[in-house]
Amino acid sequence: MVQVRRISDALKVRAQHQADDIAHDDTRRQLTFAEWDREADEVAGGLAAAGLAPGDRVFLPISNRHAVEMAITVFAVFRAGGIACPINTRLSPAEIRDFAALTTPRFCITDVPETVASLDLAGCWSVDAMPRDIAALPDQASLDANGDAEILGTSGTTGKIKGVVISHPDLMTGLNPTHRDRSNSTLHALPLTGSGGNLGIVMLPVRGGATAITQPKFDPKGFLELASEKQPDLIYLVPSMLRLVLDHPDVSQYPLAGVKYLMTGTAPLPHDSVKRAAQLWPHLRIRNSYGMSEGGIGIATTSKEQVLKPGCVGKLPAHMQLRDESGQVITEPNVIGEIYGKQRHPRRYWNDPDATAASFRDGWTKTGDLGYVDDDGDLIMAGRSKELIIRGGYNITPLEIETVLHQHPAVQQAAVVGVPHDVLGEDVAAAVTLRPGAQARPDDILSFCRQHLADNKVPRTLLVLPEMPLNPNGKILKKELTGPLTEAAARRRTG
């Protein structure tokens, strides 16, 4: 009988109970639970034979083209006693070097060897030639069940990349290695290097016995075709991906008859995307989720009424709180505060005690996200605290304005930021992209805003861009918009 001390032990239990079931499918290769278990052992032994010591970091810049190999290597690192460091291959070379400098990996397994050629590594292998030596597999009972398992790179939307440390007890939270999920398969295109892709998708088969189907590289039509071909029970699309799918001219040709659930999250969800998806696929149960790599946060809508409520991510649970600027818990409805989440297994930033102290306090995660609880007890997102615009002494949340911009029939993406103003302190500026084939002038969009927003919330500056700057997870990089919007606002005031 297998003693389940770590999630890598739970894979062995799955392999005994669901040996021939498909665990991972990246459209290039399907991996059964038995194959996953065996190959994780082989590669773990190979790493140990190469000299991997407990606690050594293993750098894993592996794209979704090799999602099967990502799953194998992550669990191989666990079984070798190392710490897995997945990193998105779409990051810039400088960002990849920064993450390597932070985590100081000893070894690397990758499908983009050119991105790590300059790194100082004791060994680096291609996913096609991973080290394998089953005879050198460490005794699993000798490995620390309470040690660090992974370091996940944050998205880097606001500054230098940081590494969130995930422990083995953290990965074991709520694990039942013989439980079977109602959703027997999930199709997604999330990078397998962040919280949603790694903790959600890589671990999904072990946690629930389901098949994780990964689109190698996201494109809207290809995703619809995969959904029709694979007939997954659940599809997961971040809001930017969902919008691109809904805007595809052929979307109505894909009824998704075999799909039961549509899950979205990781970024604010434009309300009109929910309405359009509900009209297009009325049989789908749509769920909007909210979570973060730093942990302590996990919530989702559970009803159609909730998901159709703009900004709603579900009932505020006991492990989450709203606090005011002084840190006091907010209990009144409709009062905006910062969201905190209780950590059962506290996380930290790797080699960054100052950032850890700022974000992790007394077992709680300080998210930087703003929200309020409405009269129904639902948590309504209101944006990021750092993005709060104070215009003439009034607090304005960009999310409220972005929600209105997304309702304009020509707008595909929208982002609102505060720009300096000599008199008001800050003013409201926005950038948008347009849907394929759509046309709209800035004045047309601003006129629409005036019909739906208070005057002080209407952007004074609006740019129509050919494309938005996005990070590898599909989130808009507002820091890259601040400069152009500040310059545009200054030109408007002087011109």
Compare 375 and 298 and report the one with higher pLDDT.
375
**Contact, 365 vs 391, CB < 8 A?**
no
| Residue given tokens 């810039």 in the structure block | 92
Mean pLDDT of 56-79: 98
What is the per-residue pLDDT for 159? Answer: 59
pTM above 0.85, yes or no: yes
Task: In whole angstroms, give the CA distance from residue 190 to residue 184.
Answer: 18
CB-based contacts of 53: which residues, under 8 Å, 6+ apart?
A: 81
CA triple 194-472-268, angle to 5 deg: 75
Compare 490 and 183 and report the one with higher pLDDT.
490
Give the model confidence (pLDDT) of 197-206 as tens digits.
Answer: 999 999 999 9
Q: What DSSP string describes 324-390?
A: -TTSPBP-STT--EEEEEE-SS--EETT-HHHHHHHEETTEEEEEEEEEE-TTSEEEEEEEGGG-EE
Cα 485 off chain centre by? 27
Task: In whole angstroms, give the CA distance from residue 113 to residue 111.
Answer: 6
**Contact, 89 vs 64, CB < 8 A?**
no
Give the model confidence (pLDDT) of 86-97 as tens digits.
Answer: 999 988 888 899
Task: In whole angstroms, give the CA distance from residue 81 to residue 57.
Answer: 9
Sign of the Cα torsion 51, 55, 61, 64 reads: positive
**Span of 76-80, 230-234, 266-270, 396-400 with lowest mean pLDDT:** 266-270
**Contact, 224 vs 248, CB < 8 A?**
yes
Give strand pairing partners of 348: 165
Mean pLDDT of 113-130: 96
CATH numbers and ranges of domains, the chain: 7-171 (3.40.50.12780), 310-385 (2.30.38.10), 388-494 (3.30.300.30)
Q: What DSSP string describes 424-475?
A: TEEEEEEEEEE-TT----HHHHHHHHHHHS-GGGS-SEEEE-SS--B-TTS-
What is the per-residue pLDDT for 156? Answer: 45
Task: In whole angstroms, give the CA distance from residue 443 to residue 455.
Answer: 15
Encoded tokens for 447:
């006129």
CB-based contacts of 272: which residues, under 8 Å, 6+ apart?
A: 406, 407
